[in-house]
Amino acid sequence: MTMTVLVAAAGIGATAAFGGLAKAPPSGPPQARMGEEVDQDLFHTKIVDAVVHTVPSGTGSGSERTVLDLDLRVFNQAQVSVRADYLAQSFLTVVSRDGELVLDTTNPRAQPNFMYDAIVPGAGVPSRLLPPKRTSTVLMRFRRLGADDADKYPSLLDITLGKYENHEDALTGRRFVQLVTDDGKPEVVARLAVPVRKDV
Give me the residues paired with residue 37 across strands: none
For the chain, list the domains and their CATH numbers. 35-198 (2.60.40)
- Is a pLDDT exceeding 50 seen at residue 152? yes
In this predicted structure, the answer to whether residue 11 has a pLDDT above a threshold of 70 is no
**pLDDT tens readout for residues 80-102:** 999 999 999 999 999 999 999 99
Residues 32-41: tens digit of each pLDDT: 999 999 999 9
DSSP sequence for the chain: -HHHHHHHHHHHHHHHHTT-S--PPPP---EE-TTS-EE-BSEEEEEEEEEEEEEE-SSSSS-EEEEEEEEEEEEE-SSS-EEHHHHHHTEEEEEETT--EEEETT-TT---SEEEEEEB--SSSPBSEE-TTSEEEEEEEEEESS---GGGS-SEEEEEEE-EEEEE-TTT--EEEEE-EETTEEPEEEEEEEE-EE--
Which residues, at least 6 apart from 58, have a Cβ–Cβ distance to it below 8 Å? Answer: none
- pLDDT tops 80 at residue 18: no
How confident is residue 123, by pLDDT bands cut at 50, 70 and 90?
low
pLDDT at 130: 96
Q: Which of 15-19, 37-41, 124-128, 180-184 has the lowest mean pLDDT?
A: 15-19
6: pLDDT strictly greater than 80: no
Mean pLDDT estimate for the chain = 86
CA distance 23 to 150: 44
